[in-house]
C-alpha cells in the first residue's frame, strides 16, 4: 500500500506536458509537488464527482494534449455513470487515475459503501475502458507509469493508497483564478 | 421532424445551432426533445457527446468550453434539478458562457401547469439568475442565437426552454 502523496509525485514526475484535473485528496496534494501548476486544474471548489467529466470535455476539446484526471473513490461513486460515458467517447488521450483509499478522508475517514469489497478496476473494465491497471505499491507504479500513460486511451489506473485519516487542508484559491490561469496556458499551447 | 402541435422543426433548431458555431451537442435524450436528438444523430457537423446524468453533462460541457470549444448541453427540466451543483459551481461560479437547451416537461400552453417539474422550472432559473427564452415553434428559433449571444456577452449560462405540449 502506498501513500497518496507518493503516487501523486510519481504521476507528476512522469506527466510531461499532460493537463491534470485533480480533485479531493490527490487534488490537495498535487499543488505541493507539481512543477507545472499552470497545467493543473484544481477541482476542490466544484461539484464533487464531476472532475472526470470536466476532464473528458477537455480531452475532447484538445485531442492534441494528454489529459489526466486524479480522481477519488468517493467522488467516483457520485458519478459512476461517467465511466460508461468516458468509455463510450473513448478519448485516446485520457488517463483516469483513481485513488482508492476506501474512506471519505476529507470528512474524517468514514468508510465508503462496500469499502474494500468493491473493485473499481472491474467496474472500469465492464464499463468499457480498453486499458485497466491496478497498482498498490510505489515501485510498481514507477516502473509502469510511462507505458501506462502512453497507451491509447481511455486508460483507467486504480491506485490502492493508504486511508490516512488526517483531514487534508483545502487551501482556498478562487475558482476563477485557477480557471483563468489554466485557460491561458491552454491558449498558449 | 416536426412536433405535431407547434411546428417546431428539428432542422430549424439544428440550423440555428450551426449558425451559432456550436461544435458539440452534449445530451441526454428525453420524451420532449428527442426529435432534436434524433435529427442530430443524422448529421456530422456537430459532434455528439451522450451522457448518463445531467450533472455530468454540465461538467463535460464546461470542460469543452475550458478547452476552447462551443458546446450546447441538452436535457430535460427534471435533469436541471439533479444538475444543480454542477450548474452552481461550474457554470455560474466560473462564469462560463454555456448554452443549455432544456425541455420543459409539464408545460401547458392554455392551462395551468399541474406537474411540479414544470411549475418549479422558471422560478428555479430566476432564483439562480439564469436568463431563459421559451422556444415553442419555428418562429422562435432565432431566440437560440440571441441566447447564445447573451451567454457570450455575460459569461453565464443561458437556457432555451423547449416548450411544446405532447
Q: Per the CB < 8 Å rule, is B59 touching A57? A: yes
A45 contact residues in B (CB cutoff 8 A): 89, 93
pLDDT digits (tens, 9 = 90+) for A99-150: 999 999 888 889 999 998 999 999 999 999 999 999 999 999 999 999 999 9
DSSP letter assigned to residue A72: E
pLDDT surpasses 70 at B5: no
CB contact under 8 A, A56 and B65: no
Q: Is A160 helix (H, G, I), strand (E, B) or coil?
A: strand
Q: What is residue B1's predicted lDDT score, i.e. its pLDDT?
A: 52
Angstrom distance (rounded) from CA A41 to CA A183: 9
List domains and CATH numbers for chain B.
10-162 (3.40.50.970)
Closest to B56 (Cβ–Cβ): which among A46, A81, A187? A81
Q: Model pTM? A: 0.95
What are B32-60's pLDDT values in tens digits? 889 999 999 999 999 999 999 999 999 99
Instruction: Please say whether the dihedral angle defined by the alpha carbons of residues B102, B128, A43 and A72, taken in this order, is positive or negative.
Output: negative
| Residue B97 to residue B71: CA distance in whole angstroms | 10
Q: How confident is the model at residue B84 (pLDDT cuts 50, 70, 90)?
A: very high
Q: Where are the domains of chain A?
A: 4-188
Q: Per residue in A144-182, is it b (16+ CB within 10 Å) or e — as a string?
A: ebeebbeeebbbbbbbbbbbeeeebeeeeeebeebbebb
Residue A187: closest CA among chain B residues belongs to which residue? Answer: B68
3 state SS of A145: helix
Residues of chain A neighbouring B53 (CB-CB closer than 8 A): 79, 81
Q: Could you give the ipTM of this predicted complex?
A: 0.95
User: Quick one: how far is CA A88 from the chain centroid?
Assistant: 19
Please give the grid coordinates belonging to residue A2: 502506498
What is the overall mean pLDDT for chain A?
A: 92
* DSSP class per residue in B62-94: HHHHHTT--EEEEEEHHHHHHTHHHIIIIIITT
Q: Fold for A4-188, please state it.
A: Rossmann fold (3.40.50)
Residues of chain A neighbouring B25 (CB-CB closer than 8 A): none
Report CB contact under 8 Å: A46, B59.
Answer: yes
Amino acid at each position: 500500500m502506498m501513500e497518496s502523496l507518493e503516487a501523486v509525485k510519481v504521476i507528476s514526475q512522469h506527466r510531461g506536458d499532460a493537463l491534470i484535473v485533480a480533485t479531493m485528496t490527490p487534488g490537495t496534494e498535487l499543488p505541493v509537488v507539481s512543477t507545472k501548476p499552470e497545467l493543473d486544474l484544481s477541482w476542490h471548489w466544484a461539484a464533487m464527482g464531476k472532475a472526470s467529466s470536466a476532464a473528458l470535455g477537455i480531452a475532447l476539446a484538445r485531442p492534441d494534449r494528454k489529459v489526466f484526471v486524479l480522481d477519488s473513490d468517493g467522488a467516483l461513486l457520485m458519478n459512476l455513470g461517467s465511466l460508461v460515458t468516458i468509455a463510450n467517447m473513448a478519448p485516446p488521450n485520457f488517463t483516469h487515475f483513481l485513488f482508492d483509499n476506501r474512506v471519505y478522508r476529507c470528512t474524517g475517514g468514514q468508510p465508503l459503501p462496500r469499502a474494500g469489497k468493491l473493485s473499481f478496476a472491474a467496474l472500469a473494465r465492464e464499463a468499457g475502458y480498453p486499458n485497466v491497471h491496478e497498482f498498490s505499491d510505489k515501485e510498481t507504479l514507477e516502473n509502469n507509469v510511462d507505458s501506462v500513460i502512453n497507451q491509447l486511451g481511455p486508460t483507467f489506473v486504480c491506485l490502492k493508497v493508504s486511508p490516512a485519516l488526517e483531514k487534508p487542508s483545502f487551501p482556498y484559491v478562487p475558482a476563477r483564478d485557477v480557471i483563468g490561469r489554466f485557460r491561458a496556458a491552454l491558449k498558449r499551447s | 421532424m416536426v412536433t405535431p402541435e407547434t411546428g417546431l422543426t428539428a432542422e430549424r433548431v439544428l440550423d440555428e445551432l450551426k449558425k451559432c458555431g456550436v461544435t458539440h451537442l452534449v445530451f441526454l435524450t428525453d420524451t420532449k426533445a428527442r426529435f432534436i436528438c434524433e435529427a442530430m444523430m443524422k448529421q456530422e457537423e456537430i459532434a455528439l457527446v451522450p451522457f448518463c446524468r445531467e450533472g455530468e453533462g454540465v461538467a463535460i460541457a464546461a470542460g469543452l468550453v475550458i478547452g476552447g470549444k462551443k458546446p450546447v448541453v441538452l436535457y430535460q427540466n427534471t435533469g436541471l434539478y439533479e444538475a444543480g451543483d454542477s450548474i452552481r459551481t461550474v457554470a455560474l461560479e466560473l462564469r462560463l458562457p454555456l448554452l443549455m437547451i432544456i425541455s420543459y416537461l409539464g408545460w401547458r400552453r392554455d392551462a395551468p401547469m399541474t406537474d411540479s417539474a414544470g411549475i418549479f422550472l422558471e422560478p428555479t432559473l430566476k432564483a439562480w439568475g439564469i436568463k431563459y427564452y421559451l422556444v415553442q415553434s419555428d418562429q422562435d428559433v432565432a431566440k437560440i442565437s440571441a441566447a447564445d449571444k447573451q451567454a457570450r456577452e455575460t459569461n453565464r449560462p443561458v437556457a432555451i426552454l423547449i416548450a411544446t405540449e405532447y
